[in-house]
């Protein structure tokens, strides 16, 4: 029996906050950031193979990363790798994937998820996804997974929900708020009706295409025109033109914040978006007795140093003395030493390096 469940994995980001390990030509989703033996995109793919057949898993990525995906996931067929000619945020990438899948199966129920997130409790996650797919198959709803917050984090978007419940575990969304300041985040946590926005969505084909048609009609029309080209040799040329006609907008701003039929599933499955080196530090369990984390090296020696995260070439001897709360990362021709507390400056550092030295180190 043909499965109606499909997964779209978004894998086009450049991961600039993981510089210098993550570079434009080889970003973080293709790197074993955690030192587990598998890259983030490989872990994501393996996770979803229990949700639907592997032939129903699609990737949307920068056209330049197509060969990397084929190398890291050799059993993924070419037609399931959707190459974007330019970055246009998440709404165009999701519209493209949904219209392409619609030509294959108009009854599809679709999970959309990033390629570079950490899920520690995978069985809980899979159960949440299956419950969401079951609801999406029979109701006209746009579902998002919201993470039960553990702290007033200013790096995440927040979802507020009310007490209108469907199927016991799904609540009607009231508001979306992008990255609040600390005081507002504290208020959100205290209220008890806010969740972190994980950027994971579930819906059926008719519902999402109707939403695109209502809230982003010009974009929907662009990708509707591609119906005769999808899954053919002319698809790539069509997409090159289509993306020039799409505005840069996220699915959150373009659809989810406007729609009335949005529901959230409160979830707690050990989630992290792994957005920064400090987030990797937080999730690593193998810290030493003074809180240091060393990834992929047994040649790091520390003296009077604590609460650091170190990722350097395995063959290099590294000695640290007198550091507390630092990120020490070396990759190829770049060494970065940065305070964990100031790691949000990494994006600015990358911009400064690009301005001074061009693309060589980016």
CATH code: domain 5-272 is 3.90.550.10
Mean pLDDT of 179-201: 93
Q: What percent of the chain lies above the pLDDT cut of 70? A: 99
Task: Report whether pLDDT(154) > 90.
Answer: no
Residue 15 pLDDT grade (very low, low, confident, very high; cuts 50, 70, 90): confident
Predicted pLDDT at 163: 86
Cβ atoms of 326 and 308 closer than 8 Å:
yes
Predicted pLDDT at 294: 96
Predicted pLDDT at 271: 93
β-pair partners for 8: 58, 112
Mean pLDDT of 2-26: 92
296: its two tokens? 């992929």
Distance CA 131, CA 355 (A): 48
Distance CA 125, CA 118 (A): 11
Mean pLDDT of 308-330: 96
Average pLDDT, the chain: 94
Taking phi over 0 as left and psi of -120 to 50 as alpha, with beta for the rest, 150 belongs to: alpha
Mean pLDDT of 242-260: 96
Task: Transcribe 306-324 into DSSP letters.
Answer: BS-EEE--TTS-EEEES-B
Predicted pLDDT at 89: 95
Residue 223's H or E segment, with its range, is helix 217-224
DSSP label at 149?
P
The CA-atom distances, in angstroms, between 105 and each of 4, 12, 131 are 7, 24, 21
Task: Report whether pLDDT(165) > 50.
Answer: yes
Distance CA 18, CA 29 (A): 10
What is the number of alpha carbons within 13 Å of residue 51 lying toward its C-beta? 32
The pTM (predicted TM-score) of the whole model is 0.93
Predicted pLDDT at 2: 63
β-pair partners for 334: 331
Residue 252 pLDDT grade (very low, low, confident, very high; cuts 50, 70, 90): very high
Predicted pLDDT at 1: 47
Predicted pLDDT at 70: 97
Sorted by where each begins, the domain ranges of the chain are: 5-272, 285-357
């Amino acid at each position: 029996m043909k499965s109606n469940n499909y997964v779209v994995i978004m894998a086009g980001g450049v991961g600039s906050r993981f510089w210098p390990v993550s570079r434009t030509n080889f970003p973080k989703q293709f790197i074993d950031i955690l030192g587990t033996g598998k890259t983030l995109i490989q872990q994501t793919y393996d996770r979803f193979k229990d949700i639907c057949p592997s032939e129903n898993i699609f990737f949307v990525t920068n056209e330049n990363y197509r060969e990397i995906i084929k190398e890291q996931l050799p059993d993924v067929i070419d037609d399931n790798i959707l190459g974007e000619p330019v970055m246009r945020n998440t709404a165009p990438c999701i519209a493209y994937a949904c219209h392409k899948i619609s030509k294959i199966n108009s009854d599809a129920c679709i999970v959309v998820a990033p390629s570079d997130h950490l899920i520690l409790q995978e069985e809980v996650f899979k159960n949440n996804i299956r419950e969401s797919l079951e609801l999406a198959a029979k109701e006209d709803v746009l579902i998002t997974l919201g993470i039960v917050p553990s702290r007033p984090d200013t790096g995440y978007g927040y979802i507020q929900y009310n007490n209108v419940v469907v199927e016991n575990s799904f609540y009607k969304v009231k508001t979306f708020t992008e990255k609040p300041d600390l005081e507002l985040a504290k208020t959100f946590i205290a209220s008890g009706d806010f969740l972190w926005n994980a950027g994971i969505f579930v819906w059926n084909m008719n519902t999402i295409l109707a939403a695109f048609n209502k809230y982003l009609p010009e974009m929907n029309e662009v990708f509707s025109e591609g119906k005769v080209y999808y899954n053919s040799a002319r698809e790539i040329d069509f997409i090159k033109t289509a993306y020039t006609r799409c505005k840069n907008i996220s699915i959150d701003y373009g659809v989810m914040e406007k729609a009335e039929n949005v529901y959230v599933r409160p979830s707690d499955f050990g989630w992290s978006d792994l957005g920064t080196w400090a987030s990797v530090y937080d999730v690593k369990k193998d810290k030493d007795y003074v809180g240091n984390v060393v990834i992929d090296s047994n040649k790091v020696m520390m003296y009077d140093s604590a609460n650091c995260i170190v990722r350097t070439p395995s063959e290099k001897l590294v000695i640290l003395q007198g550091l507390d709360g630092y990120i020490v990362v070396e990759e190829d021709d770049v060494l970065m030493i940065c305070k964990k507390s100031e790691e949000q400056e990494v994006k600015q550092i990358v911009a400064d390096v690009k301005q001074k030295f061009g693309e060589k180190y980016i």
